[in-house]
Amino acid sequence: MERARNEVLIDTASDPLRELVSVESLRESAESGTRLERVVGAEFVPQAIIEAERKSSPLRRPRLVVYALSASAAAAQLVYVFLEPRSFESPWASALSDACVMVIGSLLWRVELQQRAENLRLIWEKAKEREASLTRAEAGLGDTIWTARMRSRKAKTEERQAQRDADE
């Protein structure tokens, strides 16, 4: 169990920059004892964001298991149909329905993983935006979301007050 906690899953592609980043990430994870994970379609997303997204959708794993099991069972049934066609009333209809279940299970699996990657990319982009906004605000170069909201709220309040004064 201890080994699983410290396990490192990393893909060093043929791109030298990715290999360099992967080696740095590997060192950092080894020092901190954390587990690195690579999500296809959402590369270079920090592990903390991956974990937070995983916690936000706890039913993903059971859904993936159902998709995999249904596709596997349909594949086994399809093989049985071709090995023993006499044991079915309509072997072609049975084979067709099994093939449909296999395709649908596989497609649902892919869509689920693509949605996860899209969510991770979106969350990471928003986090980078907020960090950049905060950095600009700390440097006195711009607004944070909070100061923009407060300025908007103040403008609305002043507008209402001016409308009340005009009505009186």
In the chain, the number of structural domains is 1
Residue 129 belongs to domain spanning: 39-167
Instruction: Check pLDDT > 90 for residue 26.
Output: no
For residue 161, tell me if it sits in a domain.
yes
Least confident of 25-29, 44-48, 86-90: 25-29
For residue 95, tell me if it sits in a domain.
yes
Q: Confidence class of residue 63 from pLDDT cuts 50, 70 and 90?
A: very high
For residue 63, tell me if it sits in a domain.
yes
Residue type, 125: E
For residue 14, tell me if it sits in a domain.
no
Share above pLDDT 90 across residues of the chain, in percent, rounded to a whole number? 32
Q: Confidence class of residue 142 from pLDDT cuts 50, 70 and 90?
A: low
What does the pLDDT read at residue 85? 85
For residue 72, tell me if it sits in a domain.
yes
| Unique residue bearing structure tokens 């020092």 | 31
Give me the long-range contacts of 66-71 (CB less than 8 A, separation at least 24).
Answer: 67/105, 67/106, 67/108, 67/109, 67/112, 68/105, 68/109, 70/101, 70/105, 71/101, 71/102, 71/105, 71/106, 71/109
If you average pLDDT over residues 118-123, what whole number do you get? 91
For residue 7, tell me if it sits in a domain.
no
If you average pLDDT over residues 46-71, what whole number do you get? 90
What does the pLDDT read at residue 76? 92
If you average pLDDT over residues 134-144, what whole number do you get? 69
Give me the long-range contacts of 68-76 (CB less than 8 A, separation at least 24).
Answer: 68/105, 68/109, 70/101, 70/105, 71/101, 71/102, 71/105, 71/106, 71/109, 73/101, 74/98, 74/99, 74/101, 74/102, 74/105, 75/102
For residue 3, tell me if it sits in a domain.
no
What pTM was computed for the model?
0.59
For residue 120, tell me if it sits in a domain.
yes
